[in-house]
Amino acid sequence: MKTAEFITKVLIVDDVKTNIVKMKDALLESEDYLVIGANSGRSGIAKAKAQRFDLILLDIIMPDLDGFEVCNELQSYEPTRDVPIIFLTSKNDPESIIKGFRSGAVDYILKPFSKEELQARVKVHVQLKKTREELIHAKEMAVVAAKAKSLFLANMSHEIRTPMNGIMGMIDMFYQTKLDEKQKEYLKIIDVSSENLLCIINDILDFSKIEAGQIEFESINFSVSDEVEEVIKVLSYKAKENELLLQSKVQEDIPKVLIGDPVRIKQILINLINNAIKFTSEGSVSVQVVLLETNDFTTRLKFSVVDTGIGISEAGMARLFKSFSQTDASITRKFGGTGLGLAISKNLTEMMNGEIGVDSKEGEGSTFWFTAEFKTSSEKEVIESAKKSIQEGSKQKEMHILVAEDNVINQRVARFNLERFGHKVEIAENGIEAVAKFEENNYDLIFMDIQMPEMDGMEATLKIREIEKAKRPGIEIPIIAMTANTMKGDKEKFLDVGMNDYIGKPFKADQLFSLLERVIKQGKK
């Protein structure tokens, strides 16, 4: 026996009592319905509004309100709007039938009715309503699940990237101390290991973000040759360990400055080069970048990673670029890896209007390649490497900078790098302290962490902007989000509350240097 909560409820509205009895008997003969009758239009409306029905059988010709008027009333009332209505009519003319559908009916049954037709039509529309409700419920649950997944990813990204920022920042600080050759070697191993760990973390988080539609692309000026050179430097130690020659060649005709997301390009290259090094026991790995086409608006490039490794069989190539897939189950045990790198690279490439592929023969090496499209920059000057400036000990124009950050290690990392570039630094432990310090001092720039106790970075920024409007209208201090939140839409949220830019954790010294150069340049305008 069905419970009252799940039993199908049908309302029959007809001014002839015998018709209600006949229809009720016919329906109960075929299904376990709860059937309620109403002998007038007004009574039908009252009962329909008083309780939830799964279906209404509605006579057209009634003395007080006709079926069209009843239907219009029920359609205008939110709780009854989605209840399917089947008209009962002896009028077999097209005009009445069309009027019924325009009033909101889903079907009609001619009087005198056939018992079998009545049973069939009621069953179909009851099932359709239940299916529709299930789909709506499934959609609502999917939205809830997507929100929960996005929140989980945001929290995971923050919780993982925050300590990674401390680890990588402290490594950078160690490089500036006096080290003997053995210590430098050990530190380099830690550095390379942290980079590899970050790659794995990015793979896992990016795969989840791709599934959730949360991937976002930067659109900034960059130099292809600089980015390739940086990747080569990062992975050269790993190649040397395997006694491999790692080299690169960037075609000279490629525009010096392009607009796109250099981080994503490096991510794909690191994935492909890491794989090449992993599966090459002797010989070399080379990176080649060639120009496919360019004009005043777009530039299309092809990146290739060529190795002299073990190669891939045709069956193995068919399994590539799929999530959690490698050419052989034993590969994971022997070589490690998440099995996500190529799948992520494929998605990222497609998001840059490109494609990815491989040419290989078993035992003869492989060439992994991908294409990508960028905007052609109108800037004529070549982008100078920030790393070169840092290595040469370049100082910037001194600024008085406030860093709002609750993590003690990340406070030290930020202070070390900013003071190293020649700036004066003060620390605020949370948003409340940041607002108070802003009111008491004259700063040139604020780095604002997003997730802080007492008051978060976004609320603190809103408070600071309110103070500026009241006390010094027209003058705004640059506020830079320094955040481990890297989900789609985060940047827009930061800008909406009044922030000017952001830098993601973990960040390298050269990224921070470049950001400060940009802020200083904008301040001169």
Comparing 293-307, 351-365, 490-504, the range with the smallest average pLDDT is 490-504
User: Mean pLDDT throughout 196-203?
Assistant: 72
Say what the pLDDT of residue 336 is: 44
| 104 Ramachandran zone, left/alpha/beta (phi>0; psi -120 to 50) | left
Q: For the segment 239-249, what is each residue's pLDDT rounded down to a tens digit?
A: 888 899 999 99
How far is the C-alpha of 90 from the C-alpha of 94, rounded, in Å? 12
Name the band, by pLDDT with cuts 50, 70 and 90, for residue 339.
low
Mean pLDDT of the chain: 83
Angle, helix 115-175 to helix 408-420, in steps of 10 degrees: 50
**15 vs 207 pLDDT, higher one:** 15
> Is-contact 73 62, C-beta < 8 A?
no
Say what the pLDDT of residue 485 is: 62
Angle ∠(496,512,407) on CA atoms, nearest 5: 75
Comparing 68-82, 285-299, 330-344, the range with the smallest average pLDDT is 330-344
User: Mean pLDDT throughout 409-432?
Assistant: 90
Say what the pLDDT of residue 337 is: 47
CB-CB neighbours of 263 under 10 Å? 15
Name the band, by pLDDT with cuts 50, 70 and 90, for residue 382.
very low
Strands 8-13 and 55-59: parallel
Cis before 112? omega within 30: yes
Is 323's pLDDT higher than 80?
no
Q: For the segment 48-65, what is each residue's pLDDT rounded down to a tens digit?
A: 999 989 999 999 889 889
Q: Is 525 helix (H, G, I), strand (E, B) or coil?
A: coil
**42 vs 336 pLDDT, higher one:** 42
Q: For the segment 432-441, what is each residue's pLDDT rounded down to a tens digit?
A: 999 999 999 9
Which residues contact residue 296 at a Cβ distance below 8 angstroms, ignoring those fewer than 6 apart? 376
Say what the pLDDT of residue 213 is: 65
How far is the C-alpha of 473 from the C-alpha of 423, rounded, in Å? 26
How far is the C-alpha of 53 from the C-alpha of 74, rounded, in Å? 12
Say what the pLDDT of residue 374 is: 94
User: Mean pLDDT throughout 16-27?
Assistant: 92
User: Mean pLDDT throughout 450-454?
Assistant: 87
Is 335's pLDDT higher than 60?
no
Nearest to 264 by CA among 303, 295, 293: 303
